[in-house]
Amino acid sequence: MSKSFYNLDEINPKLKILSDNYEIIKNEFFENRNKLIWTNWNSNNQYTSINDNPYNGWQVAALSCQYDYSMLKKSLEYSKIFNTNVHFDHDNELMYSDNAFILPKLFNFIKEVGIRCRVGISVLEPEKHIQWHVDPDPVVDDSIIIRGLWGLDVNANKDEYCYLSVNNNGTLETEHFVNNKFILFFGRSQHMVYNTLKTPRYCLCFDTQKIISDLL
Mind listing the pLDDT tens digit for each residue in 34-45? 999 999 875 544
Distance CA 112, CA 168 (A): 32
- Domain count across the chain: 1
Distance CA 108, CA 106 (A): 5
Over residues 73-130, the pLDDT tens digits come to 888 888 988 999 999 998 888 999 999 999 999 999 999 999 989 999 999 999 999 9
CATH number at residue 13: 2.60.120.330
What integer is the mean pLDDT of 162-171?
A: 95
Domain span including residue 49? 5-215
Does residue 68 or residue 115 have the better pLDDT?
115
Taking the model in full, what pTM does it have? 0.92
The three-state secondary structure class of 63 is strand
- The yes-or-no verdict on residue 49 having pLDDT over 70 is no
